[in-house]
A and B are shown apart, each in its own frame.
Chain A
Amino acid sequence: MSHLEIQSVSKSFGSTVAVDTASLTLQQGEIVCLLGPSGCGKTTLLRLVAGLEAADGGSISLAGRNLVDVPTYQRGIGMMFQSYALFPHMTVAENIGYGLRMAHEPQELIGQRIGEMLDLVDLNGLGDRQIDQLSGGQQQRVALARSLATRPDILLLDEPLGSLDRLLRERLLDQLKVILKKVGVTALYVTHDQSEAFGIGDRVAVMNRGSIEQIAPPHEIFTRPKSRFVANFLGLSNVFDVSHPHSTIIQQLEPWLNDQGRNEGAVLIPPYAASLTQREGLLLLKTIVQGYSFRGRFALLSCQVGEHELAFSLDPYLEEGLIGRDFKPGDELELWLNPQHFVLLSH
């Protein structure tokens, strides 16, 4: 049986539907990321699990216990807030021990557990510090320690790195994953940042308009997006309707499409599918260059096929002679596409 089971949960605020019959299951010890644009309902779904919002319908069960009608403080969860929500009138140690005090644990056990937690998040010796004496990264770790101290059945994280700058975020993400895996806690992690989701999630659930559009491991989400929305959200923009037989690009892809037996839906050509050199099994695409720039790890090429615009990233270190070469807008260019990377989208 699954550890967390969310079944057809819905939540509206007035006339706005925030979560629309969303279903999701998490296995014990698994980290799942809820990924989506702002307003997609990911935070609301998290708060429904926490019980900070009451669901309009559906059911949520945790470790075999139905959570409907269980108030937040009896759910046995841990939660990390974007603002960390550290209690400003308590020390680091008092913050970490708060949940244990609420549960009336014996004093010596609380002290011992605080020590373990400080050790876990590498904040030894800072227990007596006031919250405002800590750096942003330290505060983030206190919040983590506090939410883990009670050994929750599930850890809920609401954009826990959202208020940090990019560089710090990359570093803390790795630390966070190491700690979560060490503890073995089941976690639901909300973010709008794709690299953060891919970096920490065992599986990633992409949300759109209150529903879960696709849930899969990161590599599968990226290489096999299920819908146009998922593809677009991940920045894969070369998507074309198959049902337009007169479009120049569909005409060029026609032999391959016929092989697939598809005449409806859409086809995604990932930006990494193009090459300048002909090889066995590649498809020819005649394009007109619109812009080209060398970006370090890759080179960005935008080009036109009929009325469509496509963007490709070429690998300057695999493509022979690409480094130092320039393309002028208006030049005709033959590209070779690897159809193995193509994805057929239902819609």
Chain B
Amino acid sequence: MKKNYTRFFPLIPLIFFGLFYFYPLGSILKLSFAPEGKLQLDAASKLITDSYYLRTLWFTFWQAVVSTILTLLLALPAAYVFATYDFRYKQTLRTISTLPFVLPTVVVANAFSALIGPRGLVNTTAQQLFNLEEPPIDIDQTIWLILLAHVFYNYSVVLRIVSAYWQRINAELTQAAETLGASPQQRFWTITLPLLRPALMAAGVLVFIFTFTSFGVVLLLGGPGFATLEVEIYRQAVNIFDLPVAAALSLFQILFTFILMAVYTRTQARIATQSSSTHMVAKPVTTWWDKVIVWGNLGVMFTLLAAPLLALVLRSISWVDSNPFLYYAKLFDNERGSVFYVPPIEAVGNSLLYAGCAIVIALIIGLICAYLVVDKNNWLDPIFMLPLATSAVTLGFGYIIALDEPPLNLRNSFILIPLAHALVAIPFVIRTVLPALRGINPAVREAASTLGADPTRIWLTIDWPLLRRVLLVAAVFAFTISMGEFGATIFVARPDSPTMPTAIFRFLGRPGQVNFGQALAMSTLLMFVCSAGFVLIERLRLGDKSVDGSIDQGEF
């Protein structure tokens, strides 16, 4: 009798994906090609003929290429250090280096503003020290700040994927080359680098995807002068209100990310199949050269990764006012004429509430999805991964054009934001749960069955205890994703109930030190919340040495 219920389980994720993924995307398709019900190619043809859009496309492309190359070049030496040397706190450092990756884009953008923006730590300090009129570092709203933020974001992606792969390269291969007379340089160019190629490819494609679809960083740090496709979709839809063009751009974005995702999946598969008998043994830091390269890299990592975050915390504290926590205190005020109709601190409550709902939705749908694709090569698996390859801005845009009118009018519904967040989180839930699910020996369930357990009892006594831990990890994943989600939320969040990222964004749109200070204070809070989630995930994952990089979270 219980079976009658479970038969309908597969329908739940299918309906969910149909309504909240395919329907909004279909609306985009309809809007770009047939805004008034019949085929019109105006918007689409505009993209190819208008030089403005071509320039946007070109910029999106080349900044992604440059960001990717820069990240690879900067992170490769660190990957070498982490793969070959053994030093104190190595694991901890590796873990900490991943932290930037889970931070919301608004936080990262603000962290860089706080460090080297016109009102940033470096500039104000230098101005005070040398009595300068103008800030000495003026890269605000330049490509350099964007590139720097992209390197910051993706450094750990390259570091993790490449160093993990590097470690697994059979040490005897380079030793064999050594016995055959290859000098250290020759060994690097003829053996190590060619062998690293799959990992470099996978990391490079991943970084390219992230930077190609970059939204928050470019919107917040680039100013009006720079627009990636994502930013352009947002501007067309929200500022200029040219929905058909926004839809056409989204369509292009969807196509492109799908292709990139397919490429990534293939390179990723090549990495996973690599195995070797003799792993490299990490060597201690002994000679002066060892010290130079290890400490040099840790220095670069600190400057690049830690300094902006420290600057963010420092700048969120008011040093001139009697109350150092002025900006934090201001968050509680409901000022007349402020950006909000409510005290800004309510954004924290909103974010937590949305995150709570998103967790529930993502866990339920994700768990059912995982059971559906537990057999490898199931055709549903790539479909459930689709949200990963869809940009959040596109998704948010799809929601406002599809879900604000009958048959499904959710425009004023509170649930729209958790739905979007859950959709983004579901692929991560599935990927987290699947290995544990596949690890359950079917014979155990059969044994329980022969001992008289009905299907419900089997699930409660066998599956649940084994899944509890990974479900907790998945929940924290969904939580951090929801807390930091910006691209989709900015479309669907109502003005009177902002989330933390959208509140920060609105602070930044206002002039004055107090608004900037509050943006930094809110960013600092968000950073700590996400860091706490990240630490929790790493703690829970401890001992589960699954393939590095596979759990890396995407900020689409």
Q: Which residues of A contact B (CB under 8 A)?
A: 50-52, 71-79, 81-83, 85-89, 98-99, 102-103, 146-147, 150, 156
Contacts and interface: CB of A to CB of B under 8 A. Distances in A.
B181 A150 contact: yes
A146 B181 CA distance: 12
Contact of A77 (B172, B179, B191, B194): B179
Contact of A85 (B170, B181, B187): B170
Contacts of A150: 180-181
Interface of B: 170, 172-173, 175-183, 186-187, 190-191, 194-195, 197, 276-278
Contact of A83 (B172, B186, B195): B172
A101 to B, nearest CB: 8
Given A50-B179, A72-B178, A102 B173 contact: no
A79 B180 CA distance: 8
A102 B186 contact: yes
A52 B173 contact: no
B180 A85 contact: no
B164 to A, nearest CB: 18
B180 A99 contact: yes
Contacts of A156: 179
Given A83-B172, A83-B277, A85-B173, A78 B179 contact: yes
Contacts of B187: 73
Given A83-B172, A85-B173, A98-B190, A73 B179 contact: yes
A181 to B, nearest CB: 22
Given A81-B172, A83-B277, A85-B173, A74 B181 contact: yes
Given A85-B170, A89-B194, A147 B175 contact: no
Contacts of B183: 73, 102
Given A79-B176, A81-B175, A98-B190, A88 B195 contact: yes
Nearest to B182: A102
The 9 closest A-B pairs by CB, nearest first: A99-B180, A85-B172, A85-B176, A79-B179, A72-B178, A102-B181, A102-B182, A81-B172, A89-B194
A277 B173 CA distance: 59
Given A87-B191, A89-B194, A102-B186, A52 B175 contact: yes
Contacts of B173: 85, 87-88
B278 A83 contact: yes
Contacts of B179: 50, 52, 72-73, 75, 77-79, 147, 156
Contacts of A98: 177, 180, 182, 190
Contacts of B191: 87
Contacts of B190: 98, 102
Contacts of A85: 170, 172-173, 175-176
Nearest to A143: B176
B178 A52 contact: yes
B188 to A, nearest CB: 13
15 contacts: A51-B178, A73-B182, A73-B187, A75-B179, A78-B180, A79-B176, A81-B175, A81-B176, A85-B176, A88-B173, A98-B177, A98-B182, A98-B190, A102-B177, A102-B181
Contacts of A77: 179
B342 to A, nearest CB: 61
Contacts of A52: 175, 178-179
A107 to B, nearest CB: 16
A11 to B, nearest CB: 15
Nearest to B194: A89
* B170, B178, B194, B197, most chain A CB atoms within 10 A: B178
Given A72-B178, A73-B181, A86-B176, 8 more contacts: A51-B178, A73-B180, A77-B179, A83-B170, A83-B277, A98-B182, A102-B183, A102-B190
Nearest to B177: A98
Nearest to B184: A73
Contacts of B277: 83
A110 B147 CA distance: 46
Contacts of B276: 83
A72 B178 CA distance: 6
Contacts of A75: 179
B273 to A, nearest CB: 11
A78 B187 CA distance: 16
B232 to A, nearest CB: 41
A66 to B, nearest CB: 18
Contacts of A50: 175, 179
Contacts of A89: 194-195, 197
A260 B143 CA distance: 94
Contacts of B197: 89
